[in-house]
Chains A and B, each alone.
Chain A
Amino acid sequence: MTTTLDSKIGTAQVKRGMAEMLKGGVIMDVVTPEQAKIAEDAGAVAVMALERVPADIRAQGGVARMSDPDLIGGIVDAVSIPVMAKARIGHFVEAQILQSLGVDYIDESEVLTPADYANHIDKFGFTVPFVCGATNLGEALRRLTEGAAMIRSKGEAGTGDVSNATTHMRAIRAEIRKLTSLPEDELYVAAKELQAPYELVREVASKGKLPVVLFTAGGIATPADAAMMMQLGAEGVFVGSGIFKSGDPARRAAAIVKATTFYDDPDVLAKTSRGLGEAMVGLTVDAIPEPHRLAERGW
């Protein structure tokens, strides 16, 4: 629906602004409308609609693609909170389809099998905003250059092992801190080393943060995991397999939501961590041969 004749849609302001509204919240992977409702009931700020959670993609193998539009449509109809969906890296037609379906955010995701090993999607060409994964600051800034409106640290999806999420969040924050301490005349070389545009590097150096919202993802399975990532500087949390691969998804989902809000209060965290049943079984990142690590996808 269009509103006023002189209004503008799809601007950087409304794309980035949408992500600002998700801050301090939890975005949950769901594969059915029923799971989407459980997530909404638990206080999720958005759901990620997909066919298989990363743990199953990993277990079953094969090529992972955008979900069936019927499934995405069913989830869009089931909840009133924003719905995100994943497109393969570089697959701009999957992104066109997702935009046509009315999803609220597209995740150009390494969890799916890349469709282009050289180029990511030109995200400026879309009205719908994009979130992209990053393992370090240079990667994050390259995604912003292509038009991403939100960044998430990648972690290692489908593992329940939070160590890579920690590594990536620490790396991004450390590189930002380093930039803020550099004299202006060293920012040119810093941009070269980060393989990112000088203007963006300068902006990060002066503000001490990314110009967009930074979430975390990949391996978060407990309230304590979510709170740790928040304490490390994440502005919100994506939880993939961690909820619906656990013993009691509704309770765990609600507990992770509370832990994300009260991330700095150990008393609340202790209370919310009780009686959640089994966490997802998990897989240590070390046990995954390097070519099968999802975080290596994208560049």
Chain B
Amino acid sequence: MTPNIGVLALQGDVREHVRALESCGARACPVRRPEELAAVDGLVLPGGESTAMNRLLEQFELGEPLRARLAEGMPAYGSCAGMILLAKEILDGRADQQPLGALDIVVRRNAFGRQVDSFETELAFSGIAEPLHAVFIRAPWVESRAEHVEVLASIPEGTGHGPAAGRIVAARQGSVFVTAFHPELTGDARVHNRFVELVREH
């Protein structure tokens, strides 16, 4: 069966996620309305500006239905801003940001710094054989997590990595997973493939 996966299309790099999902054999469609959300088997929350997406989610009455579907166990994958939205708690966010709470993690927004600090690097990813090329853009990190949250990738420990050393940058809890970086920008669909498999198995 071909899974039907939505990409939250309020703002951000929606097209790149659609392309990556389609390359993994999924049917992908943008989601902006509650009825569109109701029709999908899983949802990707793309990169973008989490404060803008948060505001539009609430204004277009998508926040509640999305929380409900996540609570029912709908598979979801969030990259960067998507990871911020899916978290339980946001540090350095706006006071009125309402996280979706699908994952028991605390994220710190813009944790790696401003745009001049944005970087790309090779990163080991649990369950994927060869390292990924990871693009971090004004990226968040996972500040802390509940014990049942599985760590999928971390910045290596070591001097020279500064306060980023050992920080979690990809995590999974049940059918929800998040990355602080943007696999959708690199043309490497291995992370999306994992998500499509997860939706298939669900």
Contacts and interface: CB of A to CB of B under 8 A. Distances in A.
A124 interface: no
A215 interface: no
A133 to B, nearest CB: 20
Contacts of B114: 82, 102, 104
A10 B186 CA distance: 16
Interface string B112-128: 11111111111000000
Interface residues of B, number: 51
A4 B164 contact: yes
Contact of A25 (B52, B122, B164): B52
A60 interface: no
- Counting chain B CB atoms within 10 Å of each CB, the highest count among A18, A20, A42, A104 belongs to A20
Interface in B55-95: 55-56, 59-60, 80-81, 92-94
Contacts of B163: 1
Interface string B17-50: 0000000000000001000000000000001110
A22 B49 contact: yes
A11 B161 CA distance: 19
B174 interface: no
B116 A258 contact: no
A106 to B, nearest CB: 10
A273 interface: no
A8 B121 contact: yes
Interface residues of A, number: 44
Contact of B80 (A10, A21, A42): A21
Contacts of A11: 120
A261 B94 contact: no
Contacts of B116: 9-10, 99, 102, 104, 127-128
Contacts of A258: 56, 59-60
A1 B115 CA distance: 11
Interface string A243-270: 0000000000010011011100000000
B112 A3 contact: yes
Q: Which 4 A-B pairs rank lowest in CB-CB distance, beginning with the nearest?
A: A7-B121, A104-B115, A45-B49, A24-B11
21 contacts: A1-B112, A1-B162, A1-B164, A2-B160, A2-B162, A3-B161, A4-B158, A4-B161, A5-B161, A8-B120, A17-B135, A21-B47, A23-B48, A45-B11, A80-B92, A82-B114, A82-B115, A99-B116, A254-B59, A261-B10, A262-B32
